[in-house]
Structure 1
Amino acid sequence: MRAISAKGGIGILLAGVLVVGAIGGWLVLRSDSGNEEPIVIGVTDRAESLDPGASYSAGSWDLYSNLFQGLLTLSSGSDTPVPDAAESCEFTDNAYQVYRCTLREGLRFSSGREVSPEDVKHSIERIQAMAQRAANEAEDESIPEADRFAYSGPISLVQGVEAVRTDGQDVIFELAEPDVTFPYVLAGGAGSIVDREEYPLEAPREDGEAVGSGPYVLTDYAEVDEETGTPGFAELSPNPDYRGAVDGPRQPVTIRYYPGPAELKEAWEKREIDVNAGQMAAGDIVEVDRNDAGIRYEETTGFSVRMLVNGVSGTGPTSDKAVRQALAGLLDRDAISSQVRLDTVEPAYSLIPVGVAGHGTPYYDLYSESGPEAVRSSLRNEGYELPVPLTFGYAGQVHAEETAFIDQMLEADGIFDITVEEFQSFGDIFAALQAGDIDSYFVGWRPDFSDPDTYTAPLLLEDSVLSHGYANARIAQLVAETKGQPQRGSTTELFREIQAIAAEDAVVVPIWQDWQFTVAVREITGLTNLRDAGGIFRLWELDRL
């Protein structure tokens, strides 16, 4: 995931890549889709970039799965990658380090160019090139800090690709280490295939256009107008040239991006949208009348986890494990889940959520007996003068009440003095963390695919997308062991050991696991498979009766 709203750097994650032009819209590409009335979907996770090589945010990836094609995809109701732009894919060695795909012939981008193996190669290599450029410029003192290239794309997913070669219609990926999860990478946003003549190698495309070969084409786009609160939008039309695993969409779709849950609620109540698929306020979810004959309502176990992330690379208080453990011990997840989230979420004591192999309760086991007096004594023994000052960051209006509640919770016993700062995007949060302006931040993590690896490797390794600066050699060793094990059921104990270490170090601290709520007007069908544990937003599943 992608983070909600954020997702990598190679040790350095400086700032989010934002689409230029916050006010107004762009004409992107018109297609002959007739005069069918589009299905309008309201969301709160915004697309931070239209370039799949430039963003790891949940809102961005929701678009990528519809506009771009990968060699592989995940079918609804299945967690096994299947060919999409590829005819076939397989590991060709017993070490799981060489992965070969044969590209379908006759695929076309919305630009009119035929999709080639060289485009696939370019799509992966440009992610690596942009990340390397950001790393190089971060170390180049001749470049003013404000002018250095900022990158927040999905490098953590593809940095293990040592080389990409082409052979006729085949694409061969050579991996630095064994990785049985690599097919899942190709099935997600990081595997999006772009036109090499339209997307530069070392820079994101920022003209508001999108050229892909996915089920839809982008016909118009605008960002949220921050001054007026006018929603942003992405208008999508079925791609008549799409050929792949998906049963092609039947009608156009418009995604509307709302500034927050209040605006989303108002749009739903006025029926300005057909589907409410955004992050609703807890009170709004509770108020939905499940028995209303005029709506369709879907409630399913979610696989996203809300977390507190503590920066450790600087000299601030959270660089000390004692402070991080104090925070982990004082978080009352039951109170947050019931009093703020009104039981629309489940308390989380594991980075790996319920329903995924490797789930446990390490944060409960370690911190359930922790209380204010024990925490106060521990910090004073470490030489701290109380209260310890900390600055937290968050993004998204839907999380404002919860953040304020946690602020009061941590300050209640005079142990911490918390300053809270709201940011427009997670790119801004990462920049603030790198600059030392904040110590910790809150983020939601939506899985890239339905495997425990997506809750460990991207979150806990040294080059984590979360940009916390944490490294643990034993965790790195255990992650490598899991990636080399094709029998995923046999990795359970390895993942539990990873989580036990993570709980002890308390850099990434889970708070709750979500439930997914979607509401639609009665004539809209297809909600059940709109989204699942694989994280793909299947707009093509929607239809109007």
Structure 2
Amino acid sequence: MNRKTLVLPAVVGLLAPVLAACGGSDSEAKSGDAIVVGTTDRFTATKDTPAPLDPAYAYDVGTWNILRQTVQTLMIQPKGEGDPVPEAAESCGFTDSGNERYACKLRDGLKFANGDAITAEDVKFSIERALHLKADSGVFALLSTIDTVETQGDREVIFHLKTADATFPYKLSTPVAGIVNPSDYAKDKLRDGFDVDGSGPYTLTTDVQDNALVSATFSKNPNYKGSLKVSNDKVVMRTFKDADAMGVAIDKGDIDVMTRAMSPAQIRKLDAGTDKNVELVEMPGLEIRFLGFNTNATTVKSKAVRQAMAQVINRGELVSKVYGSEAEPLYSLVPATLTGHSNSFFNKYGEPSVAKAKTLLQKAGITTPVKLTLHYTTDHYGSATKDEFEVLQKQLNNSGLFDVTVKGAPWDAYRPAEQKGQFDVYGMGWFPDFPDADNFLAPFLDKDNTIGSPYANADVRNTLIPDSRREADRLTASKALTDIQDIVADDVPVLPLWQGKQYVAARNDVTGTSYALNSSSTLQLWELGRGASG
């Protein structure tokens, strides 16, 4: 019997510039033992990243999945996808026709987990703190369209934007917009370590060894007041060194659920239905992988070198050899399932061609073979990343146009080095902050971009991104979005590779797994419960 459950994608609705109201429900939970969830995400505090869980700093899928359980936001992506809905807020919406004034009213009686009342001033403090600290993770850029934050009384917050931004409700659903208590978070300094306090559905306690988080315990917050129904009393998240160790743990019953990142071999094994005690749940995902370039580096400063790489790399072969049915070739930064996607790279380069790549390099006067090092992280995106880069190395070297070596490093060293521009060519993944094409373009192309790229296209930054954000109807924004993708395909500051699916594996007595992840790879622990399998 095949134990795989397929969760079909929901339709993502269009943003609308109107006030939205959502009635809250008291948190409910079933009694029972803690549900234990495994992950290969690693959480470390280092000299370069001393505050990994501060909402004003954290900016990767692992840390956000801790913060989303504990730090409440004004808006939240709803169960089953769609437009963001109020969470800490009672209502939110644009109050002008130009999408430049956004007002929220807080729920009555909202409290932090310690019992302190939450006021509009706390929201203002939290947002302004993130903008003021301007952390080098670049997460503050999500809030960059905010001009000023105004409060009216204890429950009303008004955001005045510098320019129209129809994606702003989504941005208020991300952890950087999380509401924190001024008693716990200094205005002028990040909060070091692994302590997190907020008003989300859970409180957090951690087990930390050698500056690394070993396990995180999420306990139901009795003061939580929001839109979520909490289906358990406690969830424990355990970290594992790799997918194989996590797989052993679920086989032994030491954990109940496996999340990211399972290996392709594990997914294929579970998909075959050989384990009657564990069910594999497949969900549509928006994860992408790409190569980034330091466009100031001598080796790849010439656009022709980057274009030649785009002309040589065979995405179909890469996906087939490494990921099989768990991924699909991607010809734009924007996933194929999102409004505004364009196959810009395929339109420009077509099928892989060594001859065309050679012509590009010859016309630019580039001596071959071009010597490059491709850098990748060994422990952040799963064990298959090494195999992926070895396939890329072979493809490029077999062309005779490149002399490529590959080099891996753990994430806690890799990410700071990438941000400082120490890599000429490097692999990155992206789990979206929210499911909109803007979030696959602006984070890499705009000012203060998350990868620290020196690439700057004035038309993209000053005209096309702002134009796309003016349109609440994202179909109307497609023209500007397509123009951006075409420019990226021509200049190749980044090179998209593939788009992935996402999976959860759970023992048979765990319920709610179909909603354990949303399309943005947000872990929704509140959905998990215990009961008879369906």
TM-score range, shorter chain: 0.7 to 0.9
Is 1:43 aligned to 2:72, yes or no? no
Over residues 338-390 of structure 1, what are the superposed CA-to-partner deviations in whole Å (9 max), with x where a residue is unaligned?
Answer: 11112321111122112211122111111224422332332233232222122
Q: Does 291-300 or 213-222 show the bigger shift?
A: 291-300
Contact persistence 1:127–1:153 (CA under 8 A)? no
CA separation of 1:256 and 1:303: change in aligned 2, threshold 3 A = same
Unaligned runs of 5+ in 2: 1-28, 45-51
Q: TM-score, normalised by structure 2?
A: 0.87
Q: What is the match of residue 53 of structure 1?
A: 56
Q: What is the match of residue 14 of structure 1?
A: none
TM-fit CA distance, 1:316: 2.2
Q: What is the match of residue 11 of structure 1?
A: none
Contact persistence 1:449–1:535 (CA under 8 A)? no
Q: Distance in 1 between matches of 2:475 and 2:303?
A: 32
Is 1:305 aligned to 2:320, yes or no? no
CA separation of 1:55 and 1:434: change in aligned 2, threshold 3 A = closer
Q: SS of 1:489's equivalent?
A: coil
Contact persistence 2:284–2:519 (CA under 8 A)? no
Is 1:265 aligned to 2:265, yes or no? no
Q: SS of 1:488's equivalent?
A: coil
Q: What is the match of residue 359 of structure 1?
A: 341
Identity among equivalent positions (%) equals: 34
Over residues 97-145 of structure 1, what are the superposed CA-to-partner deviations in whole Å (9 max), with x where a residue is unaligned?
Answer: 11111112322222332112111111111111111xx6xxxxxxxxxxx
Over residues 296-323 of structure 1, what are the superposed CA-to-partner deviations in whole Å (9 max), with x where a residue is unaligned?
Answer: 22112211111111111x2322222111
Q: Which amino acid aligns with 1:42?
A: G
Q: Distance in 2 between matches of 1:61 and 1:352?
A: 21
Q: Distance in 2 between matches of 1:320 and 1:94?
A: 44
Query: Residue 96 of structure 2 is aligned with which of 93, 97, 102?
Result: 93
Is 1:155 aligned to 2:158, yes or no? no
Over residues 165-212 of structure 1, what are the superposed CA-to-partner deviations in whole Å (9 max), with x where a residue is unaligned?
Answer: 211121111111100110111112222111112111232111321111
Q: SS of 1:288's equivalent?
A: helix
Q: Distance in 2 between matches of 1:338 and 1:233?
A: 35
Q: Does 288-297 or 329-338 show the bigger shift?
A: 288-297
Contact persistence 1:87–1:103 (CA under 8 A)? yes
Is 1:74 aligned to 2:77, yes or no? yes
TM-fit CA distance, 1:60: 0.7
Q: SS of 1:187's equivalent?
A: coil
Contact persistence 1:458–1:464 (CA under 8 A)? yes
Q: Report the aligned-residue RMSD.
A: 2.1
Q: Which amino acid aligns with 1:538?
A: Q
TM-fit CA distance, 1:467: 1.4
Is 1:108 aligned to 2:91, yes or no? no
Q: Distance in 2 between matches of 1:434 and 1:38?
A: 38
Q: Which amino acid aligns with 2:41?
A: D
Contact persistence 1:462–1:470 (CA under 8 A)? no
Is 1:128 aligned to 2:103, yes or no? no
Contact persistence 1:463–1:469 (CA under 8 A)? no
Q: TM-score, normalised by structure 1?
A: 0.85
Q: SS of 2:290's equivalent?
A: strand
Contact persistence 1:260–1:396 (CA under 8 A)? no
Q: Distance in 2 between matches of 1:470 and 1:213?
A: 39
Q: What is the match of residue 175 of structure 1?
A: 161
TM-fit CA distance, 1:430: 4.7
Q: SS of 2:103's equivalent?
A: strand
Taking the TM superposition and a 5 Å limit, the aligned residue runs for 1:463-478 are: 463-476=448-461, 477-478=463-464
Over residues 69-118 of structure 1, what are the superposed CA-to-partner deviations in whole Å (9 max), with x where a residue is unaligned?
Answer: 00111111132111111111121222111111111232222233211211
Is 1:195 aligned to 2:195, yes or no? no
Q: Which amino acid aligns with 1:43?
A: T
Contact persistence 2:170–2:434 (CA under 8 A)? yes
Q: Does 340-349 or 410-419 show the bigger shift?
A: 410-419
Query: Residue 517 of structure 1 is aligned with which of 490, 503, 513?
Result: 503
Q: Does 414-423 or 199-208 show the bigger shift?
A: 414-423
Q: Distance in 1 between matches of 2:208 and 2:102?
A: 38
TM-fit CA distance, 1:35: 8.8
CA separation of 1:35 and 1:539: change in aligned 2, threshold 3 A = closer
TM-fit CA distance, 1:505: 1.0
Q: What is the match of residue 443 of structure 2?
A: 458
Taking the TM superposition and a 5 Å limit, the aligned residue runs for 1:387-426 are: 387-397=369-379, 398=383, 399-425=385-411
Contact persistence 1:221–1:234 (CA under 8 A)? yes
Contact persistence 1:44–1:259 (CA under 8 A)? yes
Contact persistence 1:188–1:536 (CA under 8 A)? no
Contact persistence 2:517–2:523 (CA under 8 A)? yes
Contact persistence 1:223–1:232 (CA under 8 A)? yes
Is 1:374 aligned to 2:356, yes or no? yes
Contact persistence 1:215–1:249 (CA under 8 A)? no
CA separation of 1:223 and 1:357: change in aligned 2, threshold 3 A = farther
Q: Distance in 1 between matches of 2:353 and 2:271?
A: 39
Contact persistence 1:52–1:190 (CA under 8 A)? yes
TM-fit CA distance, 1:492: 2.1
Q: SS of 1:528's equivalent?
A: helix
Contact persistence 2:81–2:518 (CA under 8 A)? no
Contact persistence 1:70–1:192 (CA under 8 A)? yes
TM-fit CA distance, 1:248: 2.6
Q: Distance in 1 between matches of 2:232 and 2:386?
A: 38
Q: Distance in 2 between matches of 1:289 and 1:513?
A: 19
Q: Which amino acid aligns with 2:445?
A: L
CA separation of 1:223 and 1:479: change in aligned 2, threshold 3 A = farther
Q: What is the match of residue 254 of structure 1?
A: 236
Q: Does 48-57 or 433-442 show the bigger shift?
A: 433-442
Taking the TM superposition and a 5 Å limit, the aligned residue runs for 1:201-350 are: 201-222=187-208, 232-291=214-273, 292-312=275-295, 314-350=296-332
Contact persistence 2:113–2:222 (CA under 8 A)? no
Q: What is the match of residue 10 of structure 2?
A: none
CA separation of 1:273 and 1:327: change in aligned 2, threshold 3 A = same
Q: SS of 1:376's equivalent?
A: helix
Contact persistence 2:31–2:232 (CA under 8 A)? no
